[in-house]
Amino acid sequence: PLHLRNRLIKCATFEGMTPDAVVTDELIEFHREHAAGGVAISTVAYCAVSPEGRTDRHQIWMRDEAVPGLRRLTDAIHSEGALAAAQLGHAGAVANSVSNRAKALGPGAIPAPMGMSLTQKLDADDVPALRAKFADAARLAVDSGFDALEIHCGHNYLLSSFLSPLLNHRRDAYGGSLINRARLAREVIETVREAVGPDVAVWAKLNMFDGVGRPGPG
């Protein structure tokens, strides 16, 4: 639904410029410079949908307190003629449970290396609440002036871990076949689309390699 001034998109790469989990002047200037440099879209990474969904406590998570800074950020990007995208996601097993002071989540009990622990299983009964968090985060992003949303489905983050047959060993509707393993990601993305309507661009980030290997012989 967007008209871009060219084909150049600044992808989401973690900036490390939010020590208090809100937008800083440094982050605004970082994206303003990319917009001034001519990109069509500058993508802000990484905006977690909940506090336990951060890779650590310094990352932005979508809440009312973050909106004023995010509005300043999108205004700066728009002032240079570019569009603004927000990367939304839940870190899942990649979350640092020690830093976040909250359990990391996964399709089952799988290693969460950042917190040196095992993840807490996301039960099927918890899925509606997770979808609501994504919907709320998406609406806040649009209210903050973002033109597009990137849903993080890569790098062993929560949605990615459900997609992986090496990490997802469930036997319910969210595990087993590819259709079942993809169910959570599809439901989340459909929820986001319903929350923001047809005028906001929505796409998914997928990786080509999970970095998770099968055990070798012996």
Active site residues: 157
3-state secondary structure the chain: CCCCCCCCEECCCCCCCCCCCCCCHHHHHHHHHHHHCCCCEEEEEEEECCHHHCCCCCCCECCHHHHHHHHHHHHHHHHCCCEEEEEEECCHHHCCHHHHCCCCEECCCCEECCCCEECEECCHHHHHHHHHHHHHHHHHHHHCCCCEEEEECCCCCHHHHHHCCCCCCCCCCCCCCHHHHCHHHHHHHHHHHHHHCCCCEEEEECCCCCCCCCCCCC
d(CA 203, CA 60): 20
Q: Are 195 and 133 in contact (CB under 8 A)?
A: no
- What is the four-CA torsion angle of 66, 16, 101, 118, rounded to 10 degrees? 130
Provide the residue type at 93 as one letter: A
